[in-house]
Amino acid sequence: MRLWLAAMLLYGLIAQGAYAQAPASAQTETGTTLSWTGQKKTFRMPASERANIADNPSWTAPQKPFRIYGNTWSVGPHGLGVFLVTAPTGHVLIDGGVPGEARLIEANIRNLGIHLRDIKWILNSHAHADHAGGIAQLAHDTGAQVIANVADTPLLERGGHDDPEYGDRFPFPPVHVARTVTDGERLHLGNLVLTAHATPGHTRGNTTWTWISCEGTRCLHMVDVGSLSVPGFTLIGNPKYPGVIKDFEHSFAVVAALPCDIPLAPHPGMVNFWARVAKRKQGDVSALIDPMGCRAYAKDARESFKAQLAKQRAEAASAR
């Protein structure tokens, strides 16, 4: 196992010198249409989604892949958390970025010396276009099984249409979910174990994934925190998600209570990821370790949620 990890580290160091390049099976974009080599279906991106991606350029900004800790690697664009967890029995990819950008993720994985076909599972944090948008293509190119929370599976399989909050504004290529998970379910891939923690609210099936990564004899709890934000959400009187308030309150408590040594997230800024990476580059080898990070994020998210909820309740009262 140590020899294997050493080899993976060597690959990672070599990869530091090159940015992601598009593979031969790259996606192409023409107007509002995205099509993929080897796939029969064509996905049409609406103007609302193209504008949203343009307003968030970090979601498609190239980023060198690098080792976070042990067998956990960052392989996504600069502004989105996409993680690869490696093991001798096969690898696990978490999330897939926005529609049309699977090529960046695939190139980063290749630059680590890893074959795409060695990825066995693709996990999803939640069924929004900025995290599930590239999963259909990634599943096609890797042959990996897609695994997601049972409550988000319908939204994934209809490509984000009829979202309780966003309607049809931010669709993505429909994703075939090969296996569903529920709260507390553990996935075993050889000695690698990943646990799904249901943290609903941001979506019904929003999931926080946890696992353990080791360097030598030091093993740490890795936590990919499910989003707990409420960006423009309708919290009061939403007939498509009447239990959203209760779900968020449950999720704040879940995330705050998790064993959490290295917090990660679908959006790096949620857990000050890049600030911690910068400190590590400056010589603080333990900068990524933040045992209070999950609790701090849950606290901040709860305060933002309460402010939004109070605002909506006041507006509802004044409208009577």
Which structural domain, as residue segments, surrounds residue 219? 2-318
pLDDT tens digit sequence for 200-254: 999 999 999 999 999 999 999 999 999 999 999 999 999 999 999 999 999 999 9
> pLDDT class for 13, splitting at 50, 70, 90?
very low
pLDDT tens digit sequence for 31-56: 345 555 445 568 899 999 999 999 99
pLDDT tens digit sequence for 250-270: 999 999 999 999 999 999 999
CA atoms within 13 A on the CB side of 60: 16
Say whether pLDDT at 5 is over 50.
Answer: no
Average pLDDT for residues 169-196, to the nearest whole number? 97
Q: What is the dihedral of CA 23, 24, 30, 33, to 10 degrees?
A: -80
Specify whether the CB–CB gap between 128 and 153 falls below 8 A. Answer: no
Count how many domains the chain has: 1
> pLDDT class for 21, splitting at 50, 70, 90?
very low
Strands 119-123 and 145-149: parallel
pLDDT tens digit sequence for 78-109: 999 999 999 999 999 999 999 999 999 999 99
The predicted model scores a pTM of 0.88
Work out whether the CA dihedral 273, 151, 90, 60 comes out positive or negative: negative
In this predicted structure, what is the pLDDT of residue 93?
99
Closest listed residue to residue 159, CA positions, set 170, 149, 143, 151: 170
Report the CATH number at residue 18: 3.60.15.10
pLDDT tens digit sequence for 125-144: 999 999 999 999 999 999 99
Exposure class string for 205-234: b at 16+ Cβ within 10 A, else e: bbbbbbbbbeeeeeebbbbbbbbbbbeebe
In this predicted structure, what is the pLDDT of residue 29?
38
Distance separating alpha carbons of residues 87 and 51, to the nearest angstrom? 38
Distance of CA 207 to the CA centre of its chain: 9
Specify whether the CB–CB gap between 268 and 274 falls below 8 A. Answer: yes
